[in-house]
């Protein structure tokens, strides 16, 4: 147990180190001036330039520069955006929770709908209902997410006019960002009609969540179905059946838990796809999340923002992945380290 924990913390630190090295290298790789890419400040004259060079240790060798960069990252000095001139740390602090919120609801939807459907299809494998669930999930899985989001906007926002087209909440509500999560912020704000604000926030959330969630749900259904069918063919299920256990008992005592185990590491892979999808959907719904922010940054060639944004997003995704992997190792020590299930 302690060995596993130690191993994973070393892995985590090593990966973070690789990522920070990458992000530091980006300042050199991006077009333009290294000092401007690193700080986001355009020096007005030579004197200011030299002062900044000294402050960021750019006059010394690369190792010293990198160590100083690490210190800056740790102390919260992430540089300034080219386009807005604001501190990047504050901008990411607002954008990141919006993405996490959207992804969280999408995952929730995928788990709540995908797991029961997947179990049902797996138990009734090769029946008509299984085949229709499978067909539906392959179809949903194949829809390009940006087109799906466009169709949702067309149907629900433009034709039926029941959902707003963009943003997180109507501008009529003045909600100061405290935690960054809109629903929590509404609860904490005084002097507004909380019920109305909540309803408004939910109607803004519905379409983007559905666009991201539907595709995640489809892959969860496929994974669970496959895993249940694999478990059903195991000898211990035959043994249980020969002992005369009822179908329900076999399902509840032997199938449910054993089918979930091989799926966990695959869920970790799904997070990557999920975040990519969320980032694309954010641009279509003008959701003020990190994906929208990064894509605006690339359109405006805002290099400091890209450098830190890349570090922030990849750190988030990788910490989640490593956590899931670690959790999986702890609850399932019997498995080989590199073993993973297939779809």
Partner 1 sequence: MPQFSLYEEAFHPSPWHRTWAAFRESHIAIIGLFVLGMFVVFSVFAPVLSPYDPNAQNIDGLLIPPSWAMSGSISNLFGTDALGRDLFSRIMYGCRITLGSGLLMVVLAMLIGVSIGTLAGMLKGVRSSIVNHLLDALMAIPTLLIAIIIVAILGTGLVNSMWAITLALIPQFIHHTRRFVRSEAKKEYILASRLDGANKWQLFVHSILPNMTEMLVVQGTLALSIAVIDISALGFLNLGAQSSLPELGAILADGLDVAYLAPWNVALPGITIFVLVLSINVVGDGLRSALRKRMSQ
Among the residue ranges 45-53, 80-88, 187-195, 309-317, the one whose residues contact partner 1 (CB under 8 A) = 309-317
Closest listed residue to residue 8, CA positions, set 332, 318, 274:
318
Establish if 141 lies at the interface with partner 1 (CB under 8 A): yes
Note the helical H segments in the chain.
Answer: 2-29, 34-39, 46-55, 62-75, 88-123, 128-142, 145-152, 182-188, 194-232, 235-242, 247-250, 256-260, 264-285, 290-299, 303-331
Kindly state the smallest distance separating residue 147's Cβ from partner 1, in Å. 4
Tally of helices (H runs) and strands (E runs) in the chain: 15, 0
Establish if 326 lies at the interface with partner 1 (CB under 8 A): no
Among residues 53, 136, 264, 310, the one that binds partner 1 under rule CB under 8 A: 310
Among residues 271, 293, 308, 329, the one that binds partner 1 under rule CB under 8 A: 271
Kindly report the backbone phi and psi dihedral angles of residue 87, in degrees, each rounded to the nearest multiple of 5, phi listed first. -70, 130
Establish if 147 lies at the interface with partner 1 (CB under 8 A): yes
Q: Which is nearer to partner 1, 147 or 236 (CB)?
A: 147
CA 25, distance to chain mean position in Å, is: 24
Establish if 33 lies at the interface with partner 1 (CB under 8 A): no
Establish if 234 lies at the interface with partner 1 (CB under 8 A): no
- Calculate the alpha carbon distances from 333 to 1, 291, 325, 328, 340 in Å: 10, 36, 12, 8, 14
Residues near partner 1 (CB under 8 A) are 11-12, 14-15, 18, 26, 29-31, 135, 138-139, 141-147, 150-151, 154, 268-269, 271-273, 275-276, 279-280, 283, 291, 294-295, 298-299, 301, 303, 306, 310, 313-314, 317-318, 321-322, 325, 338-340, 342-343
């Amino acid at each position: 147990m302690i060995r596993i924990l130690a191993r994973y913390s070393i892995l985590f630190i090593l990966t973070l180190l690789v990522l920070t090295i990458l992000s530091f290298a980006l300042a050199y790789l991006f077009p333009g001036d290294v000092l401007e890419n690193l700080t986001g400040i355009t020096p007005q004259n030579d004197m200011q330039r030299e002062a900044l060079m000294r402050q960021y240790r750019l006059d010394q060798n690369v190792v010293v520069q990198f160590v100083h960069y690490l210190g800056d990252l740790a102390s919260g000095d992430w540089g300034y955006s080219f386009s807005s001139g604001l501190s990047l740390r504050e901008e990411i602090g607002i954008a990141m929770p919006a993405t996490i919120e959207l992804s969280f609801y999408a995952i929730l939807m995928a788990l709540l709908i995908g797991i029961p459907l997947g179990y049902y299809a797996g138990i009734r494998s090769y029946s008509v209902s299984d085949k229709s669930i499978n067909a539906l999930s392959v179809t949903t899985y194949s829809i390009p997410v940006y087109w799906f989001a466009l169709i949702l906007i067309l149907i629900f926002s433009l034709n039926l006019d029941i959902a707003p087209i963009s943003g997180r909440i109507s501008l009529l509500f003045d909600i100061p960002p405290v935690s960054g999560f809109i629903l929590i912020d509404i609860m904490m704000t005084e002097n507004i009609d909380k019920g109305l604000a909540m309803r408004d926030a939910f109607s803004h959330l519905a379409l983007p969540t559905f666009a991201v969630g539907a595709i995640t749900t489809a892959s969860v259904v496929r994974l669970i179905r496959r895993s249940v069918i694999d478990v059903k063919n195991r000898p211990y299920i035959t043994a249980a059946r020969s002992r005369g256990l009822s179908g329900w008992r076999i399902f509840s005592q032997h199938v449910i838990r054993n089918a979930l185990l091989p799926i966990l590491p695959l869920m970790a892979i799904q997070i990557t796809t999920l975040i990519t999808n969320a980032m694309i959907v954010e641009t279509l719904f003008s959701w003020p999340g990190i994906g929208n922010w990064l894509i605006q940054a690339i359109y405006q060639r805002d290099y400091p923002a890209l450098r830190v944004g890349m570090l922030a997003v990849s750190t988030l995704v990788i910490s989640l992945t490593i956590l899931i992997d670690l959790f999986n190792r702890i609850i399932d020590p019997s498995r080989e380290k590199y073993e993973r299930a297939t779809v």
